[in-house]
């Protein structure tokens, strides 16, 4: 946790194109901020040129309207540039979001007064290699998943930690997760829930067959190498984005990133546990209370 008294003056307002009511809400927020003398840029999440503006330092804060997926994308954009993110929840879960849709007018005065703190979330760096050549490199907020493709057959996943052999999983997939991702796919696969401030790498196998079925928590300084052995399709997927295909012998290196996602928080640091129980008792993505 880092205290902050910085009052933002240039804010990007970013919304998911498929989020219900996002465009209308973004316009309302822009109008409100402009009336307060704040310079704003209203944008769709995947708008061409947005990342260039962020990298050029044109904003000192980003407001993300949507759900947790929107926050993941915002983290990818903002973390390397050290730009804080304020999440306004228009989605279902909102594990990462700070403000409800009907709440932002109440908390914005606190934002202008610098009455908030910045929560630092560890990120991972993942890199895909084929025959020694790098095919892709990503910043990761939730998790890296290496596993099978469309064929419902397990793959062999050889795991090394700091170049030392750990084990070979015969499984649908192996998840390398942050503490942030521990409440996402890793939790669905039976992994532990980690407090968001922890800076560890969590390994969780998915449907392991006669393999280690326990999650393993590694230190921040560890490097995990996952090598695929398979006669059929395998993939690597970063934070739920479009998967990249892997061939047998390909490997993915995962280590702690040099960047951290910074989330604007108005609640006290105990918010995580208060919010966890309601989410666990009723999955909001079902769309109804049963």
Do 169 and 99 belong together in one domain?
no
Res 140: pLDDT: 98
Report pLDDT digits (tens) over 133-181: 999 999 999 999 999 999 999 999 999 999 999 999 999 999 999 999 9
Query: Is the pLDDT reported for residue 224 higher than 50?
Result: yes
Do 9 and 62 belong together in one domain?
yes
- Return d(Cα 56, Cα 45) in angstroms, integer: 17
The CATH number covering residue 165 comes to: 2.60.200.30
Do 250 and 127 belong together in one domain?
yes
Q: Kindly state the helix (H) or strand (E) to which residue 52 belongs, with its residue range.
A: helix 50-55
Do 68 and 127 belong together in one domain?
no
- Return d(Cα 68, Cα 288) in angstroms, integer: 19
CA atoms within 13 A on the CB side of 170: 4
Do 98 and 171 belong together in one domain?
no
Do 10 and 30 belong together in one domain?
yes
Per-residue CA distances from 260 to 118, 134, 194 (Å):
11, 23, 17
Contacts of 172 (CB under 8 A, 6+ apart): 147, 148, 154, 155, 206, 207
Do 250 and 159 belong together in one domain?
yes
Do 254 and 270 belong together in one domain?
no
Count: domains in the chain:
2
Res 288: pLDDT: 46
- Find the mean pLDDT for residues 16-36: 89
pTM over 0.85: yes
Do 245 and 160 belong together in one domain?
yes
Domain that holds residue 57: 2-115+266-286
Query: Is the pLDDT reported for residue 290 higher than 60?
Result: no
Query: Is the pLDDT reported for residue 204 higher than 60?
Result: yes
The CATH number covering residue 30 comes to: 3.40.50.10330
Is there a catalytic annotation at residue 115? Answer: no
CA atoms within 13 A on the CB side of 136: 18
Catalytic residue among 68, 172, 239, 250: 68
Do 145 and 253 belong together in one domain?
yes
Do 108 and 129 belong together in one domain?
no
Do 66 and 91 belong together in one domain?
yes
Residue 6 DSSP class = P
């Amino acid at each position: 946790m880092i205290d902050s008294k910085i009052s933002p003056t240039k804010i990007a307002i970013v919304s998911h194109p498929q989020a219900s009511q996002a465009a209308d809400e973004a316009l309302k927020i822009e109008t409100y901020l402009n009336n307060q003398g704040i310079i704003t840029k209203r944008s769709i999440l995947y708008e061409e040129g947005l990342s260039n503006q962020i990298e050029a330092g044109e904003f000192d804060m980003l407001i993300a309207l949507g759900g947790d997926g929107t926050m993941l994308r915002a983290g990818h954009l903002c973390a390397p540039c050290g730009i804080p993110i304020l999440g306004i929840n228009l989605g279902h879960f909102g594990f990462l979001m700070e403000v409800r849709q009907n709440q932002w007018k109440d908390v914005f005065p606190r934002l202008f007064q610098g009455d908030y703190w910045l929560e630092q979330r560890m990120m991972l760096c993942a890199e895909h290699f084929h025959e020694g050549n790098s095919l892709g490199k990503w910043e990761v907020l939730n998790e890296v998943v290496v596993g099978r493709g469309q064929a419902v057959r397990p793959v062999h996943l050889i795991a090394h930690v700091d170049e030392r052999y750990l084990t070979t999983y015969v499984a649908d997939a192996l998840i390398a997760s942050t503490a942030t991702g521990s409440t996402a796919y890793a939790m669905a696969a039976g992994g532990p829930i980690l407090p968001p401030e922890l800076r560890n790498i969590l390994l969780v196998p998915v449907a392991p067959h006669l393999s280690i079925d326990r999650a393993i928590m590694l230190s921040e300084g560890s490097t995990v190498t996952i090598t695929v052995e398979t006669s059929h399709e395998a993939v690597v997927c970063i934070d739920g984005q479009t998967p990249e295909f892997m061939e047998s012998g390909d490997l993915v290196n995962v280590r702690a990133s040099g960047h951290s996602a910074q989330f604007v928080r108005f609640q006290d640091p105990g918010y995580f546990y208060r919010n966890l129980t309601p989410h666990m008792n009723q999955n909001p993505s079902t769309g109804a209370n049963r």
